[in-house]
Amino acid sequence: MKVKEGLVKEIKSLNEQQLHEVKEYVAFLKFRSRFMSPPSFDENRIAKLYRKFAKEDRDLAEEGMTDYASSLIKEDRE
């Protein structure tokens, strides 16, 4: 059974109060969908940003590694 057919079957079995609640919920879903657009993912844009900042990221990652390695050696000796 398709979703729409199943919903119609369920809706036909509801009382007036339940139908009113369903109507309000459907209105809420429609309202919410106007403000919630699915996130877009542009793989080319992400790749371009990665290339743009790759060197800077590597430089930052390696900055201070000598000091860090020295502090590890110092800790091992203590």
Which domain does 72 fall in, by range? 43-77
Neighbours of 22 (CB within 10 A): 14
Which amino acid is present at 33? S
Q: Is 15 exposed, middle or buried (0-12, 13-18, 19+ CB in 10 A)?
A: exposed
Residues 49, 73, single domain; the answer is yes
Reported as a single tens digit per residue, the pLDDT across 26-77 is 999 999 888 877 777 889 999 999 999 998 888 888 887 888 888 888 888 8
pLDDT tens across 15-38, in order?
A: 999 999 999 999 999 998 888 777
Is 6 within 8 Å of 14 (Cβ atoms)? no
> How many domains does the chain fold into?
2
Tokens, residue 7: 């919903």
Does residue 30 share a domain with residue 48?
no
- Assigned token pair, 73: 């050696």
